[in-house]
Amino acid sequence: MNEWTPIRTEQSVPALGTLPVEARPEDLPAAYRPGAFLFTSPAGVLLAEGERAVLTSPVEAAGALGADEIVVGAIPFDPAAPSRLVIPEVVRRSGPLPAAARQAPGVSAHWLAQHTDADAYRTGVRRALELMESGALSKVVLARRLDLVAAEPVDVLDLVRALAARDPRGHTFAADLGDRTLLGTSPELLIRRTGSVVSSNPLAGSRPRAEDPVLDGRNATALLSSAKDRREHAVVVTAVADALAPYCKQLTVPSEPELLPTRSMWHLSTQVTGVLADPDTPVLELATALHPTPAVCGTPTAAARRVIGELEPFDRGFYTGVVGWSDARGDGEWVVTIRCGEVRGATLRLFAGAGLVLGSDPEAELAETGAKLRTLLGALGVEESA
């Protein structure tokens, strides 16, 4: 890993832009309606409604904002594919949701069927390991889908409320894609810019949470001491730091990862912070420089992307892309689009992936994707069929 100049940074989370505070935090998820954009994070809650303009690329968006405007939306996994970015008509924001755990509201749906590609996933993992043994690449992230089919259109509002309530300090999002709604709760901050200060929170390496506190602690300890997971994590942190280094006059990269708990998973986590050399560098430029990280693609990036295209039996679309907001000053917050799904009528398509390195086991990686799917399945009150 390269050498970076260490700095001291404040640990408090900056405010979400400078728009007037108009609502209590818990009011905005309740006010969300399909077609709007909702984004919650430890920095605050943002609800954007209406479409003043719809844009298809981050470059186009960066040059289209008026002085008091913001852009919200999603960028796909493939940076060459069209984005879905909106300059909204109305924006409301508040401080962060209360940290205290709350009972999530129920999601009313009569589920008729589940469709999974678990067998294809096992086959893909075995093939990826063969390619790694031949030296074609050192890491690749393979994903799978789980489709839930309901008797009636899925209630997006209920699901968004449930996700926000289950993880009030996470990054819950809902973005209109035109013909479907992208929603989820991501644990991974790709980039936040507040003035000249930037931060990123790469995650790689994970274990499922357990209801038994003793087993849960063992899972956390096993993850923190796992040489395989720490190697995988180091690859991602190095890539993030290398991508940010040309933009920063100071960069802090901790030498050891920490444990980040979510409701369903333990993650290895590193907080990377920096000070921009050019304070006018916009957050969208930083996001496109970072995306995709090895945490969702692999390394080398080009080789991993080719393997993903060959082995995954579906187009990722906006899964493992980025979702968030930015303003005309260049400030903003973008997270990696994971722990997510897409609602289209009566179908809810869920996605989950796992990072593969030499030594990975197909059954263990499948189990990891199952644990990650529980972020949304738990909000629905259902379990994946065997």
Q: What is the pLDDT of residue 335?
A: 97
Q: What is the pLDDT of residue 350?
A: 96
Backbone angles phi, psi at 301, to 5 degrees: -60, -50
Q: Enter the pTM of the model.
A: 0.90
d(CA 338, CA 316): 11
Q: What is the pLDDT of residue 25?
A: 67
Q: Are 377 and 104 in contact (CB under 8 A)?
A: no
Backbone angles phi, psi at 230, to 5 degrees: -70, -35
3-class DSSP state for residue 177?
A: coil
Amino acid letter, residue 227? A
Return the closest-CA partner of residue 90 out of 36, 146, 49.
49
Q: What is the pLDDT of residue 127?
A: 95
Which is it for the CA torsion 40, 43, 45, 46, positive or negative?
Answer: negative
Q: What is the pLDDT of residue 54?
A: 94
Q: What is the pLDDT of residue 10?
A: 30
**Both tokens assigned to 230:** 């720490």
User: Per-block average pLDDT, block size 10, for the chain (386 residues)?
Assistant: 33 39 71 94 93 91 85 95 96 83 61 88 95 90 95 90 81 95 96 97 92 94 93 92 97 95 92 97 95 93 94 95 96 96 96 91 93 89 79
Residues catalogued as catalytic:
139, 188
Q: Where are the alpha helices (DSSP H) in 179-295?
A: 213-224, 227-244, 283-290
Q: What is the pLDDT of residue 27?
A: 79
Pick the CATH number of 26-102+114-380 from 3.50.50.60, 3.60.120.10, 3.40.30.10, 3.40.50.1970: 3.60.120.10
Q: What is the pLDDT of residue 7?
A: 31
d(CA 247, CA 114): 46
Q: What is the pLDDT of residue 224?
A: 96
Quick one: the chain helix, strand, coil %, rounded to 5?
A: 30, 30, 40
Sorted by where each begins, the domain ranges of the chain are 26-102+114-380
